[in-house]
Each structure stands twice: as structure tokens, then as C-alpha cells.
Amino acid sequence: MWTKLVPATALLAAVTLTGTAHASPTSPVGASPASPLGASPAAPAMPTATGTSPGVPEPVGGERLVRHGMVAPDGVKEPPKTKATSYVIADADTGEVLAAKNPHGRYLPASTLKILTAVTLIPLLDRNRTVRPSSVAVNQEGSAVGLTTKPIYTVDDLFKALLMSSGNDAAMALAEANGGVQKTLHDMNAEARHLQANDTVARTPSGLDEPGQSSSAYDLTLIARAGLANPAFRRYVSTKVAKFPAPKNYYEISNHNKLLWRYQGMIGVKNGWTSKALGSFVGAATRDGHTIIVTIMRHEGYFWEEVAGLLDWGFANRGKVTPVGRLVDPLPAAVPVRERQAAPAPAVSASARPSTSLLGAAAATQDDSSRRTGLLVIGGGLLFGLCWLGFGLWRRRSRL
């Protein structure tokens, strides 16, 4: 995957959840901790003895994940060294973050953003639907699976191309099948807010670099965990080779994740690279019925052995150490989609909602108030009419 040459069709402003605190360091993306778009945050309150400011909610994942450097549990050897600027090691089953480095740092995600594209669109598109890619989709820059403008592809084929071959052309074709790039970016950012991946701003469906686009190791781990809960997503990222349609026949595509062939229990997920983002990777593996996720961002070079070492550390220490944070759960599914897409504030819990009796009382009060207002309006009108009539009679007598 190469540096972006084609601009996104739409620039979608991401909305952070009101009352959700972020603590991300200065990053190449340049966004402030409070806003993906770089708005200046309010001055912080003085911290309490526990490190949390009075009246400010705990940062997403826990207050220890605010740190820019290494965050590791006590009493065990730290994870092996890596050239990655940021990483997270997490237990996918429990949601425990076992160790991290600069987990909320916001960086360009490159093709790892495609996992958000997949998590968003898999539930929305019929896998058996036939798609005819446009000339715009076919001519996307960077990594591509080699689409043509012929209607020979199913949505299922395109998801394989997206997650196995990192096809930017497949990402655009899927966005078109979902109603266009602008709608897809809206849906992706809404899904990020739903997952509480609040460091993430999608500007392209492919991950090609675009100003304002960002994610974090913590967010990509959240998104990957959500994807692994979907059997279709899991099938796509774990497939090593597959046949792909061509105008006259088929050809074979291969998964870019080298650890599928090298690491015991590797499930998959996604790698990415651009000259600006550098190397990024999200990987998940299962051993003895337990799954560990490792996410790295901004790695300067060849990272496969380093990721394998981080996975080994995760398996060796899961269930034995005090976690340094947690992967938060998505917002309640009961929140209507249109509200999630706007996401002006956190969802109101059931305990905070007014009871039926209170709502009924409020309605009755409103009815009484409306009746009183109506009587006042009518009475005022009659009084004004009588005054006007009296004024008219007085003028008539004056003239006489």
C-alpha cells in the first residue's frame, strides 16, 4: 500500500462522545486529545490523589493508559523490545489490556483502517450480491486486487480482496455498494463511536493517507475484537489463499499476513503500510482456547518477529498479572442507529431514564399547563376587545 494520491470524496467530521476523556500525546496526525479535528481542549483540572481530575470521567480503558510511554504490570519482565512507537497487548476474551506503549497515541492507520471498513459493512451488505465496480474504484492507487468494471464480483469476493490482499480498489467498490464514499465514511465513523474507538477518524474507506485521518493502537484493538466476534470477519482474515474472479477465469489471491504461515494459532487480522504512516499491524492468535490481540503502529521496518514476541509474552502472562487497563464494551445496542451516527453524547443508561409513571405525570402536567395557557389567551383577547369597544364609543361621544 502506497501514499495516497486520490482524495476522498467526502470529509466527515468525527464527533467525540461528550463526557469521555481522552489522553493521547502529540502525534503526526496533529489532533488534540479532546477532538479528532484539532480543537483546543479546555484547561485540565488539578488531579486528585488517584490521578483523575475531579468531575472528569476515567479515560477510555483506564487512567494508566493515559501514559505516553511503557505501561506494564508489576512483578514480571516487561514485554520484548519493539521499534513500534505504539502498541497494545490485550486478552480478547476478558478485555484486559496486559501491557501497552503510548496506547492512545493518534497516528495514520494505513490499511489497518480496513478492519473498520469491514466491521462496518459486513452487517450492511448481502454477501451474495453482485457488484459492478466503477472506473474510479478500478483505478485506485496503491495496493489492489485488480478489479475490472465487469459485474463478476460478489460482495463476498470483495471482502476477501479487502482483508486478504488489502485491495484499495475493493475498499472503494464496497463503499460504492453501500451507497457511496460519503455514506460509508459516515457509517464507519458512527461505528467507531459505537465501539468507543474515539481516537479514530475515517477519511477514506481504504486507509490511504488523508489529512485528519487517525486511529490508535487501543482503538484498532477494540475494532479487531469486535470483528473477531463476527464469524464472517473471522473467516476472511484467517483465509490464506482463495480463488478470485477474472473476466474469463479465476486467479489466486494470498493473505498479506505472514504470521498465518509462521505463528502457531494465528487467526489473522490486518497489516498496513504507507510512507507517512509507516508499518502498522493488528494480529490475533488463539492457544488453549484463549485469544491474544497485539496491535502496533508506526514501525520503521520488518516487524513480524517482534509481533510474535509480543504475542508470546501475552500468552505467558494472561491470567497471571494485574491488567494495566481494559478494552471497553460498545455502547448499548438499544441506541438507535441515527443517534449513534450523530453521537452527541453518551447513551443514557436504563437507570437514568424516566419511568413510565413519571412520563405520564409529565404529560398530564403538560396538558394542564396547555389548558391554563389557552384560557389566559382567550380571556386576554376578550378583555382587549372590550377595551377597544369602549375606546371607540368614547371617541364617538367626543365628536358629538
HSE of 21, CA atoms in CB hemisphere, 13 A:
19
Annotation marks residue 111 as catalytic: yes
Question: Would you say 1 and 168 are in contact if contact means Cβ atoms under 8 Å apart?
Answer: yes
Helix (H, G, I), strand (E, B) or coil at 292: strand
Percentages (nearest 5) of helix, strand, coil residues in the chain: 35, 15, 50
- To the query of whether residue 166 is one of the catalytic residues in this protein, the response is yes
Burial 377-390 (b: 16+ CB within 10 A, else e): eeeeeeeeeeeeee
24, 86, 111, 143: the catalytic one is 111
Using an 8 Å Cβ cutoff, are 346 and 20 in contact? yes
> Is 249 within 8 Å of 228 (Cβ atoms)?
no
Q: Where are the alpha helices (DSSP H) in 80-150?
A: 114-121, 135-138
Length of the chain: 400
Catalytic residue among 4, 101, 114, 270: 114
* Nearest by Cα to 326 from 85, 113, 88, 68: 88
Catalytic residue among 165, 166, 206, 238: 166
Catalytic amino acids?
111, 114, 166
